[in-house]
């Protein structure tokens, strides 16, 4: 199987541009199903998750053409609303197809989705929302079927903040009859981006980016051209990469306003940063331990918790990392311990990191997308050779990562 081989200790230099947002693209592609017209999406990252979503759409009958970072999606010939299990199981975000297919065809049969194993992510809230809008649900062991002749607007209160549920309801309600009010909605920038795309197609969505979103249903949606926002998680990963290696690099084509809490926490830990309107430059810094709690946006992103924890292995003193979003997401820290980190797991949601510790190259397996990036970061500062396996997980979310890091001076290769 392919693996990354990293020889640590190299200083990095230069500029790295941030790709389009993975978590926006994986919602706007399913949203294309809401229209019979052709949509053009710009700034699409070339990553495995996008390929998997494209496979599902093409299998249903969509025609997708990629030209550089622009992808055109034509959905007028889609006649099926039952994605194949073998394709759905490869991608957790495949659940985002359920709402648009239901809204368009009045019926959808979906296998339970796959994706990263980072804790329980049940689909109960999705199904409850569809039911509130008039859908009948038939659940089976391996799949579920939703049916509704005409979806109706409803008041939907989420018991806790959930990003993909918020996005799914937004999409589904666009073609429902009447008004849907979503209470306790997630506020991530990708949600505002999705609303922006849908509104450009004729939807009537207000309040996106706040806890209460209102969607007034329309008869139909058109399609057009839309450019994705920069990937804030990729930007944050690269900023931490510059810091952990003690390098001055410029992370460009990003939006620092979408990373305000993460940048604040890095600065609290001692990071020296030059922050511009669309870039961040990292400076050589001296770090000290801090307490970090992940939280829904605008809090510290759970997706940047693993890279931040890797950075804290190089900080003076003690850090407490509290992961409140996903249970089990801290289990990757045993990989850092194998490299020499001093990390104590208190429970599935909390670890204590004692630093600084010298890290040593090891052969490790990436457990998931973001933990995989943390292993790369650790490998860049480790003594000796680090081998990272199961790199498919990393390539799900980071475009052409080896070549981009090589361009900064990193000693990293992909080997079969």
DSSP tag of 183? E
Helices (H), 90-227: 98-105, 124-132, 163-173, 189-200
Helix, strand or coil, per DSSP, at residue 73 = strand
What end-to-end distance do the CA atoms of the chain give, in Å? Answer: 6
Exposure letters 109-120 (e unless 16+ CB within 10 A, then b): bbbbbbbbebbe
91, 53 in Cβ contact below 8 A? yes
Secondary element (H or E) of residue 29: helix 22-31
Helix, strand or coil, per DSSP, at residue 112 = coil
Residue identified by tokens 């973001």 is 370
Beta bridge partners of 3: 415
Beta bridge partners of 144: 110, 139
Alpha-carbon span 315 to 313, nearest angstrom: 6
How many other β-carbons are positioned within 10 Å of the β-carbon of residue 229?
Answer: 20
Q: Give the active site residue among 39, 116, 148, 254.
A: 116
Helix, strand or coil, per DSSP, at residue 281 = strand
How many other β-carbons are positioned within 10 Å of the β-carbon of residue 7?
Answer: 17
Sign of CA dihedral 214, 220, 224, 230: positive
Both tokens assigned to 78: 């889609």
Which residue from 34, 170, 35 is spatially nearest to 102, judged by alpha carbons?
Answer: 34
Alpha-carbon span 258 to 237, nearest angstrom: 14
Name 82's Cβ contacts closer than 8 Å, sequence gap at least 6.
Answer: 108, 109, 110
Alpha-carbon span 353 to 310, nearest angstrom: 9
CA atoms within 13 A on the CB side of 364: 29
CA dist 148 → 152, 188, 335 (Å): 9, 29, 47
- Asked if 39 is an active-site residue, the reply is no
**Which residues carry out catalysis?**
116
């Amino acid at each position: 199987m392919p693996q990354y081989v990293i020889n640590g200790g190299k200083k990095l230099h230069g500029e790295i541009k941030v790709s389009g947002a993975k978590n926006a693209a994986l919602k706007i592609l399913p949203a294309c199903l809401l229209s019979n017209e052709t949509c053009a999406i710009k700034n699409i990252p070339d990553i495995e998750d996008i390929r998997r979503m494209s496979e599902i759409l093409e299998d249903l009958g969509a025609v997708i053409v990629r030209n550089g970072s622009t992808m055109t999606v034509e959905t007028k010939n889609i006649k099926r609303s039952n994605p194949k299990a073998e394709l759905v199981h490869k991608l957790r975000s495949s659940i985002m197809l359920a709402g648009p297919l239901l809204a368009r065809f009045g019926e959808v049969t979906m296998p339970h989705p796959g994706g990263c194993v980072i804790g329980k992510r049940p689909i109960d809230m999705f199904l409850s929302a569809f039911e509130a809008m008039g859908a009948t649900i038939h659940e089976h062991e391996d799949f579920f079927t939703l049916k509704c002749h005409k979806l109706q607007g409803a008041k939907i209160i989420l018991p806790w903040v959930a990003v993909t549920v918020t996005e799914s309801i937004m999409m589904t309600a666009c073609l429902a009859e009447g008004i849907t009010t979503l209470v306790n909605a997630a506020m991530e920038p990708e949600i505002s981006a999705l609303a922006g795309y849908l509104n450009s197609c004729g939807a009537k969505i207000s309040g996106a980016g706040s806890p209460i979103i209102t969607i007034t249903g329309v008869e139909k949606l058109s399609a057009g051209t839309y450019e994705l926002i920069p990937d804030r998680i990729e930007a944050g990963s690269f900023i931490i990469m510059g810091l952990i290696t003690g390098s001055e690099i410029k992370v460009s084509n990003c939006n620092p306003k979408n990373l305000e809490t993460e940048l604040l926490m890095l600065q609290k830990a001692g990071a020296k940063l030059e922050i511009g309107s669309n870039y961040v430059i990292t400076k050589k810094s001296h770090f000290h331990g801090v307490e970090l709690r992940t939280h829904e946006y605008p809090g510290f992103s759970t997706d940047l918790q693993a890279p931040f924890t890797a950075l804290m292995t190089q900080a003076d003193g003690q850090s407490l990392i509290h992961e409140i979003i996903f249970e089990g997401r801290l289990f990757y820290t045993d990989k850092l311990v194998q490299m020499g980190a001093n990390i104590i797991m208190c429970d599935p949601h909390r670890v204590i990191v004692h630093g600084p510790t010298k890290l040593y190259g090891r052969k490790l397996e990436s457990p998931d997308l973001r933990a995989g990036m943390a292993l790369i970061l650790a490998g860049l500062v480790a003594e000796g050779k680090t081998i990272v396996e199961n790199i498919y997980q990393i390539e799900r979310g980071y475009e052409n990562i080896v070549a981009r890091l090589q361009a900064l001076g990193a000693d990293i290769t992909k080997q079969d």
